[in-house]
Amino acid sequence: MVLLSSDLYSREYRVSPEDIWEEMRNDHPLFYDDIGKMWWLTRYDDVKNVFSDHETFSSSTYDLTTGQVVGPTLISRDDYGHVVRRSIVAPDFVGKRLQTYEHLILECAENLIREFSSSSNVSLVREFSSQLPVDVISAILGMEGDGDLFRSWVTDMIMGLSGSDELREKGLDANAAFCTHIAPLLDGVDNPGRNDHIAKIARAEVDGHRLTREEITAFCGLLFIAGGETTDKAIANMWWNVLSDFDIRDAVLDDISLWDNAFTETMRRTPAVISEDRFVTKPIELYGREIVEGERIRACLGAA
């Protein structure tokens, strides 16, 4: 079948991209999108390769998005600097160490549930999934204050990544307000009683040096924007999948261990992140086509 670039920007694609992804995987595993001026990859092995080969596929695309709003962070780096900075926070966010946050996460969830507008009819997105991530991340960072204000900053910062100058200005204003808010928390980080992540990031050393204040605030801003919308969408999609099918709903209500499966399947079927872009650092050949240095590749996780 003929695939047009405009298909990737159509209403049909936004509502239900699966058919187009299937067509791309089968007939156009490498597709040049002349509207977005980039190549799309949709097969599992190709997408995996893009995420694994940092020398050929550079994350410097993020310099044009997150870098423009929060400043330079690990996410746009391809070198060892990425790995060491990631290791400052990553171990706390997986496995047993993540469980130490269970109490804090439950408390944030219970606070939201207590505020539900009604006991019978609730908007799970507006009143829960869109609120919880920022509450949890700000608590982990050790921030105190108005959750609604923090959420409005995160929304503006994320909107600022869109490429529009006007929205970027708004994103920068939100980031400036965020930096001012956390500035006092950058003092006294050596106090042994400080267990929050701002202190952990500030105490960490990279090649024998601590991060600068700018690097620390950019790092915290990245956690907000990387963790906020993704988790909101993942929770919302999971609820949607479970509540759209009575058999699944009844199964998870009967056996709470099945929630893990519900979440994992949500991430496979309706992922919160559909694609990520990379710049090609050297000329390569894929599927018999030449891709030149500097071109953009979109690795479509949702299709893979």
Instruction: Tell me if 75 contacts ligand HEM by CB under 6 A.
Output: yes
Distance CA 222, CA 88 (A): 13
Site string for ligand HEM, 84-123 (x = CB under 6 A): --x-------------------------------------
Stretch that binds ligand HEM, among 19-27, 33-41, 169-177, 224-232 (CB under 6 A): 224-232
Q: Does the footprint of ligand HEM cover residue 232 (CB under 6 A)?
A: no
Comparison of 7 and 277: residue with beta carbon closer to ligand HEM: 277
Interface size with ligand HEM, residues (CB under 6 A): 15
Closest CA to 23 of 46, 6, 3, 49: 3
What are 40's strand-pairing partners? 31, 298
Q: How far is the CB of 68 from ligand HEM (least distance, A)?
A: 16
Q: Which listed residue (38, 198, 202, 272) binds ligand HEM by CB under 6 A?
A: 272
Subset of residues 184 to 223 that bind ligand HEM, contact rule: CB under 6 A = 222-223
Within 21-60, the residues that bind ligand HEM by CB under 6 A are 59
129 binds ligand HEM (CB under 6 A): no
Interface with ligand HEM, residue 231, by CB under 6 A: yes
Is 276 near ligand HEM (CB under 6 A)?
A: yes
Pick left, alpha or beta for residue 270 (phi over 0 → left; psi -120 to 50 → alpha; otherwise beta): beta
Instruction: At 132, list the tokens.
Output: 């919880």
> Could you give the 3-state DSSP secondary structure of residue 44?
helix
CA dihedral 156, 270, 54, 207 (to 10 degrees): 60
269 binds ligand HEM (CB under 6 A): no
Report yes or no: 197 and 89 within 8 Å, Cβ to Cβ.
yes
The angle formed by the CA atoms of residues 59, 61 and 62, to the nearest 5 degrees, is: 85
To the nearest 5 percent, what fractions of the chain are helix, strand and coil?
60, 10, 30
Q: Which residues bind ligand HEM (CB under 6 A)?
A: 59, 74-75, 86, 137, 222-223, 226-227, 230-231, 234, 272-273, 276
